[in-house]
Amino acid sequence: MNTIMVQLRDRQWTLQALHLACAMAHTQQSDVTLVRMVTVQYMTWVGTDLANVPMSSDEHQLVDELVATAEYYGVRLCIQNMQYFTLPEALVEVAATLESKTVFATLPATSLPYWRRFQLWNLQRQLNRRNCQLYTLEQSVTDVTQTPSVMIQPAKHPAHS
């Protein structure tokens, strides 16, 4: 059975992503897997108990809310932890492990917005190669309504009046 993967992020983003994922899962009769990404300080710690970080009380509260949301949609929700050193690579790896065709995930903001856009593009490219669609819940940078524009009228030359 196909599962829709949702990355556990901040409350607002995760709730929005889960609502969309649950609506899709209900229509497709699939499950949703909520993945809590746990960063590690050293690459050698990945997969060891040294990188186990228990959920905070805020995370527990959010997960309870997410479970209730999935129940409202009548969708089965699984929760998994994923330790990682490099987030984009880990997202691709966990999507492949889950055999997910739909992923709701995003990357944190950086001081270099072009680098983040490149990373998101590369993440989308890698997931597309696995027949997997990425949803970041971000506005398209090519959205016409947000593209600044200026109308310039030709000047009338006094001699041609």
- What would the pLDDT profile of 34-47 be if each residue is shown by its tens digit? 999 887 765 665 55
How far is 154 from 151, CA to CA, in rounded Å? 10
- In the block, which residue shows the tokens 């229509």? 27
Residue 38 confidence (pLDDT): 86
116 within a domain of the structure (yes/no): yes
Residue 85 confidence (pLDDT): 80
Residue 74 confidence (pLDDT): 95
Residue 60, domain extent: 3-139
156 within a domain of the structure (yes/no): no
Q: 47: domain CATH number? A: 3.40.50.620
How far is 11 from 17, CA to CA, in rounded Å? 10
Structure tokens at 43: 């690459």
152 within a domain of the structure (yes/no): no
Residue 79 confidence (pLDDT): 93
52 within a domain of the structure (yes/no): yes
Residue 40 confidence (pLDDT): 75
What is the tally of structural domains in the chain? 1
Residue 139 confidence (pLDDT): 64
**36 - beta bridge partners?**
81
Q: Report residues of the chain scoring pLDDT below 50.
A: 142-153
Within its chain, how far is the Cα of 155 from the centroid?
Answer: 49
Q: Where are the beta strands (DSSP E) in the chain?
A: 3-7, 31-39, 77-84, 102-104, 133-135
Strand, helix or coil at 65? helix
